[in-house]
Structure formats: structure tokens, C-alpha cells
Structure 1
Amino acid sequence: MSVLSRVLILAFLIVFSQASFAKQVVRITTGEWAPYISESIDQKGLITQITKEAFAKKNIDVEIGFFPWARATELSKSGEWDATIAFARLKEREKFYLFSRTLYIGRYAFFHLKSQPFFWTGYEDLKEIKMASTRGFGGMGDDFLKAERSGVITVMRLTSDVQSFNMLKANRVQAVPSDLEAGYVLLHKIYGKEANLFTHNPRLIQSSDYHLVVSKKNKNAQKIIDTFNEGLMLLHSSGRYDEILKTWYNKPIYRQSVPPEYLPAPKVTMRTPAHHRF
């Protein structure tokens, strides 16, 4: 065997070995939704950290791409990116996505000015309440979306949560449906001490289970979901999941924004919920 042949065989073996031991990378597209997901905060957010550590348990790296939410959704739905995170399970989304086990449980409520409280037991009670919400957000659940589509409630769909809360502050709407933790964090960020002007209605819209989702167009969709679920279960069984939550609840982003009586958030169980955002 010639020297050149030996060199070529050695080079092939080196490349093959590197490829064999290289970590798989899952590419996740998402948008800004602090404290859960954010390009500008520690660990890229609570849900981002849980996601990365769950995949790391299975020796998989994660690449996070931040986009406007509408773009992030399209990139994941088309299969151009592998997945997205913090999606609530809605009937309309089940056409396009496979859903992981529950990543985190959020709680949705109507935010309003403290000076303008209201009482409700069903959506029929909210006919006179004008609302604002971000386009595409569905964590309020299928019942809310059905009431919106049928005209039982009036919802002004805007491009961001900031716009929605600005409308609320200006008395142009009377309510903004939002995840509690994300809502209080955003209010503190944009209004500082004036965030004390706001509160949320004590009646929750619903608890909302957040998931990692993978497009059904992705040929590896079920494998990605199964692998992630296995890693997530390992986080729970090792106690690491609870450690992550406790650490986050003691970070300034929580301590300075979310009223202490709403912490800690409900403990997440390993479940695949019935139909219930981002």
C-alpha cells in the first residue's frame, strides 16, 4: 500500500470518528417571552434552560434562534427549524405539531388596572369588556378562542404584549389576558414603579401546559419528541428540575416583578395534558 493510500485511509478514519462522536444538534426557533424565554437574560430564560438540560441528558446540543413570534412559528411549522418551545396545546395546532410532555405549567388571567376591577364567571360576562392580546397567542385555551371567534368577547389583536399593556394603561381596553409570571415581569420592565397600577383578576382563565413542539413535516419528529421526553423525565427523577425552578424563583427578575404570593408556580407533573403559548 502506498504512502498516499495510507494517508487517505487515516484521514477518512479521523473524519468518520469525529462524525460518530459529534453531538446531535436540535435547532429551536422561538421568540421573546421573559422570564421563560429571552435572548437578554441568564440562561436564555427558565423554559430555555429546562429544554437545554433535558436534551443534554441525552447528549444532544441545542441551538436557539430568536425571531418575531409569527416568524418563529412559521419556521417550526415548515420544518425548516426542528422545534419551538412554550406552546400550549390547542386543537388547531395538533394539525401541524407533535407535542412533548409538559415543560412547565403557566397560569393565565386577565390583567387590568386596579382602578377598574370586574367580576366574571363565564365569557358571557365579558361582553362589555374590551381586550387586547398579541396575534397568534393561544395560551388562554380553546374555550377563549372559541368565544373570541364567535364574537362573545371582543379581542383586539396586536403585534406585541407591550402594545396590549399600553392600550390597557391608556384605558383603551379594559383587560389583557396573559400568563401571570410573564405579565408581571413585562409590566415591571416597561413601567417600573407604575407597574403597581396593575393587577390581575383573581379568577384564572386556565392553567396552561407549555410544551416543546415539532412539526409533523420533520421526518425525525417522533424521535426528537421521544428523546426530549426521556431527558425531561431524567431531570424530574434526579431532582434537577425542581432545583432549576427554585433558582429562578430567587432571581431578581422574579423577586422584583412577581408578587411573592404567586410563587412558587404550581409543581409540574410528568403528564401529557388534555387540550389546553405561548
Structure 2
Amino acid sequence: MRMFFVQLFIFLFAATAVADEKPTKIRLTNGEWAPYQSQDLPGYGVSSQLVTKAFEAVGIDVEYGFFPWNRAMLLVEQGAWDGTFMWVLTPERERLYLASDPLFVLREVIFYSKDNPVEAKELKDLNGKVMGALDSSAFGQQFAPLIDDGSIIVARVPNNQQLFQMLAMGRVDFVPELETSGYEAALAHLTEDQQKRIGHLERLTYPWSYHLLISRQTEHGPYFVDAFNRGMQIIRANGEFDRIIGPYIRPRSLN
């Protein structure tokens, strides 16, 4: 009987130890959004580098998988992957995912082609226009009432290359995008002449706060969120944050 209780104690102790063991690896979906995220950039882009360093600071390795953005989110929603980034929060996303503290705030602006100039002081001034937008993107969310009542038409595409080529060719009238990544897309995917024709409105800017989203289906979801938040505090304090992302969260010009 004594041996039975000894074996039972050992079993319960081992089971408790396994249950308390914290994960040392996280699997995150990623996608194409230069300069922040890309399979073809060093460290998979500066946002990916930031996420890697934050988790590294708390002893967690990151595995990335690259997918179209719609699929990247669905895989996390279903629990097939642990998390995804960098996303703005919407009521629907807060319902489906666990969200980290903000990574940083970036400015959305309205891009247009000077071949088809856009002048607007308020949202309703864009009535009758065609807006270009990315699949799964919350950019242009401020136009939702005008989209719902048909005042603005939306053309959605899977990537920024197609989006800015459509803008340069006049297939859409305006594109809401980050000032940084919008000009990055123009530089990467448009001809030199087309680049000179791209501009943005200084009015109607919109601030976005970006987050890591963790699946509610993942066993260690709350731990991953807490660990990432702690990791971000560490790399902000030691200067890694500014070194990695600082130059990329300030606007870049085509001039």
C-alpha cells in the first residue's frame, strides 16, 4: 500500500509539472506587407524582427508561416496556429482573438494619383469615388457608413502591389493606407513616372494602434499575451525597439 501511494504521488507530481510547464515556442502566421512583414525581407521584415526579439527576451522562439491575409487570420481563429500580427483592433477581432498591448501607432492617410486629383476636407467629400483596399484590412473603416449606403464603392485586392498599380492606372480614385507602407509600395511596384504622380491628403488622417492577436483556441493563449507584453517592455527599455522599428514608424517620402 505504501508503494502504491508513493507511485501515485510521483505520477501526480509529474502530471502537475507537465501542466505547469510553459511553452518555449509560438507559431505565428505572417504575410506580405513591406517593410513590416515579408518572406523576402531580412528577418521577415521589421515588424517580424520586433516580434521575434520581444518573444526572445522572455525565452520563446517564434516559427512563422506565410499565408494570404484572409487565411492567416482564419488559421489563428481556428487554433491551427497560435497567433498573427500586426493588426488593428475591431470589435469583431476582440471577440475572436486575445490581443496584446499596442506595439506602436501609425498614421493612415488617403493616397491618390495626381492624374486624378482628390480634394477632400471631410469624409463626405469623397462621395461617388471608388476606394481601393486590401483584403482583411481595417483601413478605411471610417468610411463604413458611406460604403454601407452606397456613397463609396470598394474594390478589394490581396496585396499592396495590385492596390497601388490600380491607383496609378486610375482604376480606383483613392487608397487609405499607412503613410509609411503606402510610399514603400509605390517605390517598390510603380514606375518612376508613376511614383511622381502619387500623393496623399494631409487632411483626413487616421491613427491606428497595432497588436499581436492570439487564438482563443490555443491552450496557452493568455500566457503568450502576457509573455509578449513583458518582452515588449524589455526591448523598449534596452533600446532594441527603437533600433529595429524607429526609422519605419516615421513617414517616408517619394521626394
Q: TM-score range by the shorter chain?
A: 0.7 to 0.9
The 5 A counterparts of 1:140-219 are 140-141=140-141, 143-194=142-193, 195-219=195-219
1:139 shift after superposition: 3.4
Q: Which secondary structure does the structure 2 equivalent of 1:162 belong to?
A: helix
Residue type of the alignment partner of 1:243: R
Please list every run of at least 4 consecutive aligned residues from structure 1 whose deviation after the TM superposition is greater than 6 angstroms.
20-23
Unaligned runs of 5+ in 1: 1-19, 262-278
1:149-179 CA distances to partner (integer Å, 9 max, x unpaired)?
A: 3434221122332222222222122111111
Bigger shift: 68-77 or 191-200? Answer: 191-200
1:106-147 CA distances to partner (integer Å, 9 max, x unpaired)?
A: 211111112333232332211122111122111334x33343
Contact 1:29 1:84 in 2 (8 A): yes
Residue of structure 2 equivalent to 1:59: 59
Residue type of the alignment partner of 1:196: K
Q: Distance in 1 between matches of 2:240 and 2:38?
A: 21
1:6-54 CA distances to partner (integer Å, 9 max, x unpaired)?
A: xxxxxxxxxxxxxx99971110002100000011111211110110000
Q: Distance in 2 between matches of 1:52 and 1:147?
A: 39
Residue of structure 1 equivalent to 2:13: none
Unaligned runs of 5+ in 2: 1-19
Q: Distance in 2 between matches of 1:158 and 1:245?
A: 27
The 5 A counterparts of 1:36-115 are 36-115=36-115
Q: Which secondary structure does the structure 2 equivalent of 1:106 belong to?
A: strand
Residue type of the alignment partner of 2:100: S
Q: Distance in 2 between matches of 1:136 and 1:236?
A: 29
Q: Which secondary structure does the structure 1 equivalent of 2:241 belong to?
A: helix
Contact 2:26 2:61 in 1 (8 A): yes
TM-score (norm 1): 0.77
Q: Which secondary structure does the structure 2 equivalent of 1:115 belong to?
A: coil
Q: Which secondary structure does the structure 2 equivalent of 1:203 belong to?
A: strand
Q: Which secondary structure does the structure 1 equivalent of 2:91 belong to?
A: coil
Change (3 A) 1:108 1:185: same
Residue type of the alignment partner of 1:120: A
Contact 1:101 1:211 in 2 (8 A): yes
Contact 1:26 1:82 in 2 (8 A): yes
Contact 1:107 1:204 in 2 (8 A): no
1:258 is the counterpart of 2:248: no
Q: Distance in 1 between matches of 2:217 and 2:134?
A: 26
Q: Distance in 1 between matches of 2:39 and 2:56?
A: 20
RMSD between aligned residues: 2.5
Q: Distance in 1 between matches of 2:223 and 2:140?
A: 29
1:260 shift after superposition: 7.9
Identity of aligned residues (%): 31
Residue of structure 1 equivalent to 2:124: 124
1:65-89 CA distances to partner (integer Å, 9 max, x unpaired)?
A: 1111111111111111000011001
Q: How many aligned residue pairs are there?
A: 235
Q: Distance in 1 between matches of 2:253 and 2:219?
A: 44
Q: Which secondary structure does the structure 2 equivalent of 1:118 belong to?
A: coil
